[in-house]
Amino acid sequence: MFMDDIKNDYFYPMGGTSVVLEVQKNWSSYGKEGTAVVAPSMARFIDALRVKRPTWRFKSTERVYDNEGQELRNFDVYDGNEELGRVWVERHYRTGETRYYLNNHRVEAGRQRGSGSFSTKVGVATKKVLDSFGVKSLDELAVDAAKKISATLSTTYNNASHTYHRAKSKATESLAAYIEANWETLKTYTTGCDHIDLRELREHREATDKAYRALTSDGSATLFMRGDQMVISQHDKPSRVVTFDDLTEKQRATLGMLKLMEDKAFVAGVGMRVDRETFFLLD
């Protein structure tokens, strides 16, 4: 299965430290192309593992570029198509010593996991890998299978739910439009709906939506009044203390109309009376 990606990966063949792998043109580092050489310390590590596990394969998908050139220092370890973990080498930034790292990718391991372990000796690192890497047992594979089933079913359910709700929403919109267009006929077939005017309700909803949007634009003003003094505010403008005479002619007419309304009354195209001291004026 992983052979499908071979054009973008680097499999370490038999041949020791002298092997040079060609770098693909679409897989360059820092804009560099050409060749990437397996780091000598990494080659010794892999060769030591191959002596003990001849069937293991080592695949690199990362390169390190420095002044000395491009090196392959990170390899994923496979047994057949099963990924066992990763081995890599690093030079310590202070001592300059080579460290051999390993990370067992197994989620449920019957053996010691060895995740994040390292050693400065290739022999010790090799033993750590042999102790912690290996093909999963049937119990481990069963755990993985259960997790895979759970994840697949979850994705399947989410996709089915999304498809259903999207189709339902579209059907509901179409049905609502049909009902509204034919309401005068359809309402005679419903119980207790003779007094409902859907067109009027839709227009009221659209008017309130327009007013709400005007709250964050220059097309409205909020006004608080106490006695003869008022504070008027408009979007992105500082509040001003004013009197009734300071208002524009339209604002005075709007306020006069809203004062006659009940609390929380909304008039399309005019504004809203929140309470006896608080008003929302539309321009």
* Same domain as 24, residue 110: yes
Instruction: Give dist(CA 83, CA 104) in Å, integer.
Output: 9
* Same domain as 40, residue 78: yes
* Same domain as 125, residue 22: yes
* Same domain as 33, residue 85: yes
* Same domain as 125, residue 84: yes
Domain count, the chain: 3
* Same domain as 112, residue 74: yes
User: Angle at CA 264, nearest 5°, toward 261 and 268?
Assistant: 70
* Same domain as 131, residue 19: yes
Q: Residue 75 above 50 pLDDT?
A: yes
Give per-residue pLDDT as tens, 169-204: 999 988 888 888 888 888 777 777 777 777 788 888
Q: Are 69 and 37 in contact (CB under 8 A)?
A: yes
Please give the pLDDT value at position 224: 92
Could you list the residue range(s) of the whole structural domain that residue 218 is in? 198-282
Torsion of CA 76, 78, 84, 86, to 10 degrees: -10
Please give the pLDDT value at position 260: 92
Q: Are 125 and 100 in contact (CB under 8 A)?
A: yes
* Same domain as 7, residue 131: yes
Instruction: Give dist(CA 115, CA 194) in Å, integer.
Output: 73
* Same domain as 145, residue 131: no
Across the range 58-73, mean pLDDT stands at 66
Reduce the DSSP state of residue 268 to 3 states and report it.
coil
At 79, is the pLDDT very low, low, confident or very high (cuts 50, 70, 90)?
confident
* Same domain as 109, residue 59: yes
* Same domain as 157, residue 111: no
Average pLDDT taken over every residue of the chain: 77
* Same domain as 202, residue 105: no
Q: Residue 226 above 60 pLDDT?
A: yes
- Comparing 60-64, 142-146, 184-188, 236-240, the range with the smallest average pLDDT is 60-64
Instruction: Give dist(CA 36, CA 10) in Å, integer.
Output: 9
- Comparing 114-123, 243-252, 264-273, the range with the smallest average pLDDT is 114-123
Task: Single out the residue of 57, 66, 7 nearest to residue 39, CA to CA.
Answer: 66
